[in-house]
Amino acid sequence: MPEYLPTTPYRGTRDFLPPEMSVRTQVYERLYGVLESRGFQRYDGPVLEPIEIYEAKSSREIVEQQLYTLTDRGGRRLALRPEMTPSVARIIAGNAGKLQFPVRWYSNPNCHRYERPQRGRVREHWQINADIFGSESPSCEIEIFELIHDMLGGIGATPDMWRLRVSDRVLLSSILTDIVELDESLLRGVSSIVDRWEKYPREKLAEDAGALGVTDKQFDRLAETLAGGAAVLDEIPSAVRENSQLAKVLVTDAAGLVEFDPMIVRGFDYYTSTVFEVFDTSPENNRSLFGGGRYDNLVGLYSAQKIPGIGFGMGDVTLIDFLGTHGLLPEPLAEVDVVVIPVEADLADPARSVARSLRAAGLRTSTPLEPRKLGKEITRADKAGARVVVIVGREDWDGGSVTIRNLVTKQQDQVSVDSVGAAVRASLDQAAEDVTGAGGAPSS
């Protein structure tokens, strides 16, 4: 027996068959529409980047455990892109002289991380990134928070389905030093513990904190403070609040868009102040969906010019899980709207001519690639999701007409070739009314 190559994809990657791709495309097109309605422009960059751009500011977990790396023939150390933010900072720095700041950009890159595949995590994913560069104004935070609300609304999610929890690393540092009374040398380690607060048992968190040198009294005070949520804002010194973009947002009307939560930290080293995450509220999918924050110094890795930024990345895996949990995934589109079927092999050219006219009218139209009996072609068209078939017969064609059969209503009419476009459109509209009236939803 011959030994065949495997048909399964590399572990942690996915194949997308046409129905799955149709669902994804519909979701992304809605998100793109929301982004562009707010003035965000699409960009892209290479999937291969110098490894140094991740070693400088990405999380230690990504750099030490998740990078796919290689050395090219010139001895250069490269990595498959695990995230887009370092790349977009490089692009902004390299093209700053051509840009009119602030800029609103978005992308949907393919990213790679060597993770343990599980629900919500794979080794290859797509991620919508939305960023604003060139302004320190708290209006940028408001713009991003409004954008998140609009994007989730654009794919059918209602506000009760998710929570936008926000914090600020400047405020968190004040909480830890001014309220919990920790030494500044402990900030990084304790911030990491806060980031894990909802994921680990309290005993484990206390053990880790003790190993850093946090006293029992300080740990109890930390637990009390985190449990208080937004109430801690009143305890933070006013001088600190005045230097926080997020604190300025929280006293505006935009405060209703978010929920302050000091437990939001985010694991990336490049975040400088505002950080946020969106969480699913369903008990069936109780997890973080996506997040982001402000990174005012990241462009400084590439340029002396100070260009602050803020943005987020929305991964496809958690997004599709979220939509599936709440019954919001669209139905796959049918292959075609119409199939034009020649009754005889020598009528293939007339059938293609009719098909071209229907495509010119904006209808997705196909013709058979191999000769089959009429009944089999109609059955195949029905399985492909077509609502209408156009039958090109010898006598009809010689008389300047074709037959239109509606596969939903079963109505059949003979129409002139010159009016076939309008007749098919009317037949499709009737099919859509019948499907909707029967309690279904159009598939195209």
- DSSP string covering 202-245: HHHHHHHHHHHT--HHHHHHHHHHHHTGGGGGGGS-HHHHTT-H
The radius of gyration of the chain's CA atoms, rounded to the nearest angstrom, is 28
113 a known binding residue? yes
The answer to whether the 18-325 and 338-437 domains have the same CATH topology is no
**Strand spans (E) along 257-336:** 259-260, 274-280, 288-294, 309-315
Residue found under tokens 């996915």: 14
- Average of per-residue pLDDT across 360-378: 95
Specify the pLDDT at position 117.
81
Q: Is 121 helix (H, G, I), strand (E, B) or coil?
A: strand
What's the CA angle centered on 215, arms 210 and 221, to 5 degrees? 110
Return all residues near 343 (Cβ < 8 A) that are at least 6 apart.
374, 391, 392, 393, 394
Characterise 362 by phi-psi region: left (phi > 0), alpha (psi -120 to 50), beta (else).
left
pLDDT beyond 50 at 421: yes
Tokens for 149, please give them. 């609300």
Specify the pLDDT at position 436.
62
Look at the alpha carbons of 321, 323, 326, 330 in this order and tell me if their dihedral is positive or negative: negative
165 a known binding residue? no
412 a known binding residue? no
Confidence of residue 368 (pLDDT cuts 50, 70, 90): very high
1 a known binding residue? no
Bigger pLDDT: 431 vs 382? 382
Domain boundaries, the chain: 18-325, 338-437
Tokens for 85, please give them. 């933010």
Tokens for 272, please give them. 């400088």
pLDDT beyond 70 at 437: no
* 157: DSSP letter: -
Spatial distance between the Cα atoms of 179 and 194, rounded to a whole number of angstroms? 15
Dump pLDDT digits (tens) for 38-72: 999 999 999 999 999 888 876 677 788 899 999 99
Tokens for 182, please give them. 């920790």
- Average of per-residue pLDDT across 213-227: 94
127 a known binding residue? yes
Q: Is 35 helix (H, G, I), strand (E, B) or coil?
A: helix
Tokens for 159, please give them. 């506000």
271 a known binding residue? yes
114 a known binding residue? no
Tokens for 84, please give them. 């887009």
Specify the pLDDT at position 315.
96
**CATH number given to 338-437:** 3.40.50.800
Tokens for 253, please give them. 């009307």
Q: In the predicted model, what is the mean pLDDT of the chain?
A: 93
Tokens for 14, please give them. 């996915």
Residue type, 260: F
- Average of per-residue pLDDT across 156-164: 97
**CATH number given to 18-325:** 3.30.930.10
**Strand spans (E) along 225-327:** 259-260, 274-280, 288-294, 309-315
